């Protein structure tokens, strides 16, 4: 990823719904202007699982935030506006494989023109597809 105007690679790790708070209006555009990589937390790529973990309506608000990011160029193949989703499943198991997540995401109305990067996090964060064991 190209560095920001200051010459640094900057990442913002956030719960996607925080981008929708009134006090954060304009933040997505500010990030896009500065080429900040967004690492968004989404407990699961299915509504019932996300809402069960974070509360009713969180999945829909997360999708709304991803649409806002899409409108700013994130998740559309622009290497200067990289969007990475991090899955935080509840319980002692790893989330879906990269291929499963990509197939399911492709059926949604959120644009993921660039390869969707999905990590599953527990104590340490790792890509399930690279996990062997």
For residue range 29-55, what is the model confidence (pLDDT) as tens digits? 999 999 999 999 888 878 898 899 999
In the sheet that holds 125-126, the strands lie side by side as 11-15, 37-41, 83-87, 117-121, 125-126
For residue range 73-131, what is the model confidence (pLDDT) as tens digits? 998 888 899 998 888 777 666 666 667 766 766 665 554 444 344 444 433 333 333 33
Question: What gap in Å lies between CA 90 and CA 50, rounded to an integer?
Answer: 9
* Angle, vertex CA 91, rays to CA 130 and CA 60, nearest 5: 90
Q: Is-contact 104 49, C-beta < 8 A?
A: no
Domain segments of the chain as ranges: 11-127
- Please measure the distance between the N-terminal and C-terminal CA atoms of the chain and give it in whole angstroms: 31
For residue range 82-91, what is the model confidence (pLDDT) as tens digits? 998 888 777 6
Q: Is the pTM of the predicted complex or chain greater than 0.85?
A: no
């Amino acid at each position: 990823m190209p560095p920001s105007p200051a010459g640094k690679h900057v990442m913002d790790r956030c719960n996607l719904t925080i981008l929708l708070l009134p006090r954060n209006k304009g933040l997505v555009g500010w990030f896009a202007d500065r080429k900040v990589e967004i690492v968004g937390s989404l407990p699961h790529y299915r509504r019932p699982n996300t809402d069960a973990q974070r509360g009713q309506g969180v999945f829909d608000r997360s999708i709304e935030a991803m649409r806002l990011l899409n409108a700013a160029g994130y998740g559309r193949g622009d290497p200067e506006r990289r969007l990475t989703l991090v899955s935080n499943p509840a319980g002692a198991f790893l989330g879906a494989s990269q291929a499963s997540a990509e197939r399911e995401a492709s059926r949604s109305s959120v644009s993921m023109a660039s390869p969707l990067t999905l990590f599953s996090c527990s104590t340490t964060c790792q890509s399930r597809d690279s996990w062997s064991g």
